[in-house]
Structure 1
Amino acid sequence: MANEELWGEFAVGALFICLRFFARIKVVGVTNLQLEDLFMLIALLAYTAVTILIHLITVYGSTIGQTPESVYLLPKEMVASFIVGQKLTFADWLVYLVYIWSLKATLLVMFSRLTKGLRFEERILKGVIGYTAVAFVGAAISHICVCLPVHKSWQVVPYPGDACALRNLNYYLVSFFNASSDLCIIAIPVPIIFKAKIPVWRRALLTVLLCSGIFVVVATILRSYYSLKSITTLPVAAGWTSRETFVAAVAVSIPGIKPLFSRSKWFRFRSTGEGGNYQSGGKGSSHELRTIGGSLQTPGFMSRSQDKGGWRVDGKDHRGTRLSSDVGSEEIIFSGPRDQSQSSVQAPAPA
């Protein structure tokens, strides 16, 4: 692949991640950044490392495309270069796994607040977290054990065999663990969104935002297909790795960037009025649908008093009262049962 594509995709992908951090800081403040933001930082560092490694692999070369006979015809300098390239390839797969699973962890932490107070959904989340962890271990073991002893992964002469040189099993096993865990994660918010009493267009928007991981699944499948189709061509594998990591960066960052474009992007509030409730199924119990970043607010529910500097809620001014706070920015959250006759407001985050 061309370096222009590699670094261009990285620049855009990293920009999306940085915009997400900007939105988070604007909405919740630096001191309220959470575990999901740590995972996103790890993802950004891993994304940078993956991109650098892909570039270096194309510089040093690889045994991809070689045969048991052709390796003996290689100059010593090229053999030494290929050894370095193979070591970088081995490391690149591991860093790639850290990157992808850090993004998964970001979504899982976000969804942990979305499902808070919903017993059935919380159990599903725990199951998905468990499977995602197992999938990471399975993918890492698959990568390491696909070529044993491990040092054969960067052996050039004699030819170590296709399993070590091409690592075609990685595209099957790692892609399976990757795509299957993505599908499980995507499934978490869908039933909650469709049970929520919100307009259809908002339901569709939230589905696209919170289930954008489907694009990552598609990218994973395409990467595996085209890499296996041209298994002996290094630029093809490198190119599709770059595209997949780019799509993943954008897809996971988009929900966090949305508050920047919301009508109430610099403050957060919640309401229990009509159109904002979610019935959990238990008799007499309901869960408040709380939105952050202004994605589901009831128009006109809250207004700022221009002359007195207070917050006006349902026709009443509230001043000198500690209003409830939250630390989310992109997720919709369902809190526990509460009196439906009450409403609460969140004050704007400090500038």
Structure 2
Amino acid sequence: MTLYTPAPLLRPFGEDKPTLLVSWWITIFATIIIALRLAGRYVRVEKLWAEDKVAACSLIPLYMRMACVHVVLLYGTNNVQLPRGLQFTREEIHRRSIGSGLVLFSRILYPATLWILKYVSLHFFSRLIKATGKRRYYYTLMFVRVSLGITFLAVIISNLAECRPFHAYWQVTPDPGPQCRQGVASLLTMAVCNTFTDLLLVVFPVPIILSSKIKTSRKAFLVLLFSLGLSAVIVSSYRVPKVLDENGYQGTRTTWASIEILVGTIVANTQVLGSFIRDTGVKKARFRPGYEHNSHSGTNSKGAGGLSSFQNNNTNNMTLMSHKDNWGDEVDERGGVTGMGMSTTIKAQSSMDTDFSKSPSGRASEDSLIPKGSHHHSSNSLSQSNLSGVTAVVRTTRIEVTVEDADTGSGRQMTPTPPKPPKPPMQVRSASVRGTGRGSTKVLQQVDAPLPGGLSPPSRGGLNS
């Protein structure tokens, strides 16, 4: 088997219709997978993370490639051999020239789609090693990033540098030669670079998983999960000999390229979609009536009169919580890893995050809402408490009084009675011949007058006594 072979024989368009249908089906299925990822992420945390946006960007080259493939399969390419005695018409030459040029463009969009999906997994790994805090993983990550960039450039160069002159890529007659119509160099370069990068993405997370403090069964499951990238290696390895056996026939080449894109999409999104199905990983805290969250912050609540910090589960708060037993399912946007013996990341955007402490009986005590002791002591303890962001809660009671009508027996509210008129001021009585009135100035003057016989009048204090 030689690398460059004669062109395949001319086939009718009816034989390429299944390839066209399969390519469209794969494109739609890949779109559904990415759409489920975006919808699931937005439902759980009400926003998209960086790798979700990168995954959405892969749809652009995916559909551009599919548009090119549709025209290529419909018009044909210059990689075809006519039976003896047949010649292309001017219209057929024009159509095949357009198809050959779009083949060159689709061979650039095809690796662009796959490399964007690879970068989605790489972005997840970058947050994973950020949570571990080990510097040696940063150098490995940097090596993988540089490898992705170099391999992508190598694939693009192999597509554009194989044929000379450049316009011979879309030349139909005369025959431009196998270097310009079969694209063997780009096929081999793509297979090697794709296999190398897939192996890097499979091997990279294995040391992190094995060094974690999780169960052995969980480690085995995670290794198998990340080993799904080997399926892309198998498809890429099988695609090369299959295309060469059919002399670079465009229908076969398009079919296996579409299958490889589907496998790459599944590998890049399986880990996230699996966490959505199992309802694990990072998600927004939902308000559940009657649910009481026990605070583990260890904050002293005695100074606040029995008040403790509590978690407000209002749906307006963007609280991202991660579960401790879900490592490998998801890592939050700041790089917090769940499980693996590490601390759980809780991201809250509310300054009033409080939760009532539980009573010894296991239920939240309503008495904890009211500070103990006097009002003055309670206010001082709240002002001097070392709790930050704690708001005192005062329980108030509203009482409505209803008076029962004795005659009708119907309940009605009391109506206020009109106020009584003020009493008239006290009048001072004047002195008369038989006596004097109390409170009169004249009486005091008479009492202070000297008595006959040289006796002094008694003091006012004596009179008052």
Asked if TM exceeds 0.5, the reply is yes
Alignment of 1:285-300 (within 5 A): none
Q: Is the 8 A contact 2:243 2:252 kept in 1?
A: yes
Q: Percent identity at matched positions?
A: 22
1:6 pairs with 2:23: yes
Paired with 1:44 and 1:311, the residues of 2 have a C-alpha distance of 44
Q: Is the 8 A contact 1:268 1:346 kept in 2?
A: no
Higher relative contact order (CA 8 A, sep 6+): 1
Measured against aligned partners, the alpha-carbon deviations of 1:84-116 in whole angstroms (never above 9, x if no partner) come to 100110000111121111111111111101111
- Cα distance, 1:218 vs structure 2: 1.5
Q: Is the 8 A contact 1:20 1:257 kept in 2?
A: yes
Equivalent position to 1:224, from 221, 232, 240: 240
Aligned residue in 2 for 1:126: 142
Matched AA of 2:277: F
Equivalent position to 2:254, from 228, 232, 238: 238
Aligned residue in 2 for 1:88: 102
Residues 1:70 and 1:49: Cα distance change in structure 2 (over 3 Å): farther
Residues 1:28 and 1:329: Cα distance change in structure 2 (over 3 Å): farther
Aligned residue in 2 for 1:76: 90
Matched AA of 1:106: V
**Structure 1 stretches lacking a partner, 5+ long:** 270-302
Q: Is the 8 A contact 1:58 1:235 kept in 2?
A: yes
Q: Is the 8 A contact 2:37 2:269 kept in 1?
A: yes
Paired with 1:99 and 1:209, the residues of 2 have a C-alpha distance of 22
Q: Is the 8 A contact 1:266 1:348 kept in 2?
A: no
Alignment of 1:1-351 (within 5 A): 1=16, 2=18, 3-30=20-47, 32-34=48-50, 36-66=51-81, 73-116=87-130, 117-264=133-280, 267=283, 307=290, 309-310=292-293, 313=296, 319-320=310-311, 325=320, 330-332=329-331, 344=344, 346=346
TM-score by length of 1: 0.77
- Cα distance, 1:265 vs structure 2: 5.7
- Cα distance, 1:242 vs structure 2: 1.3
Paired with 1:184 and 1:256, the residues of 2 have a C-alpha distance of 20
- CA RMSD after TM alignment: 3.4
Q: Is the 8 A contact 1:179 1:220 kept in 2?
A: yes
- Cα distance, 1:332 vs structure 2: 4.5
Residues 1:224 and 1:232: Cα distance change in structure 2 (over 3 Å): closer
- Cα distance, 1:263 vs structure 2: 3.7
Residues 1:180 and 1:144: Cα distance change in structure 2 (over 3 Å): same
Structure (1 or 2) with the greater helix fraction: 1
Matched AA of 1:26: V
Between stretches 90-99 and 220-229, larger displacement belongs to 220-229
Q: Is the 8 A contact 1:40 1:106 kept in 2?
A: yes
- Cα distance, 1:215 vs structure 2: 1.4
SS at match of 1:115: helix
Structure (1 or 2) with the greater strand fraction: 1
TM-score by length of 2: 0.59
Q: Is the 8 A contact 1:20 1:256 kept in 2?
A: yes
Q: Is the 8 A contact 2:222 2:328 kept in 1?
A: no
